Structure 1
Amino acid sequence: MSSAAHQRSPTLWEEGRRPGREVVSLALALLLTATVLDLAFSEGLGLFFDLAFVTLCVGAALAVRPRDFFLVGVLPPLAMAFVVLLLAVSDRAAIARADDGVVQAVLAGLSRHGIALALGYAACLGLLALRRSFVERHPR
Structure 2
Amino acid sequence: MSSAAHQCSKTLWEEGRRPGQEVASLTVALLLTATVLDLLLSDGLGLFFDLAFVSLCVGAALTVRPRDFFVIGVLPPLAMALVVLLLAVSDRASIARPDDGLAQAAISGLSRHGLALAFGYAACLGLLAMRRSFVERHPR
TM-score, normalised to structure 2's length? 0.97
Unaligned 5+ residue runs, structure 2?
A: none
Give the drift of 1:4: 2.5
Q: Partners in 2 of 1:80 and 1:135 — Cα distance?
A: 29
Which residue number in structure 2 is paired with residue 101 of structure 1?
101
- Indicate the SS of the match to 2:9: coil
Structure 2 matches for 1:37-116, cutoff 5 A? 37-116=37-116
Which residue number in structure 2 is paired with residue 33 of structure 1?
33
- Indicate the SS of the match to 2:10: coil
Given residue 78 of structure 1, which amino acid in structure 2 is its aligned partner?
L
CA shift in 2, pair 1:6/1:80, >3 Å:
closer
CA shift in 2, pair 1:60/1:5, >3 Å:
closer
Given residue 76 of structure 2, which amino acid in structure 1 is its aligned partner?
P
Give the drift of 1:3: 6.0
Show CA shifts across 1:59-106 (max 9, x none).
000000000000000000000000000000000000000000000000
1:125 correspondence with 2:125:
yes
Identity of aligned residues (%): 83
Give the drift of 1:7: 2.0
Given residue 104 of structure 1, which amino acid in structure 2 is its aligned partner?
Q
Show CA shifts across 1:119-139 (max 9, x none).
000000000000000000000
Given residue 79 of structure 2, which amino acid in structure 1 is its aligned partner?
A
Q: Paired residues, what number? A: 139
CA shift in 2, pair 1:139/1:23, >3 Å:
same
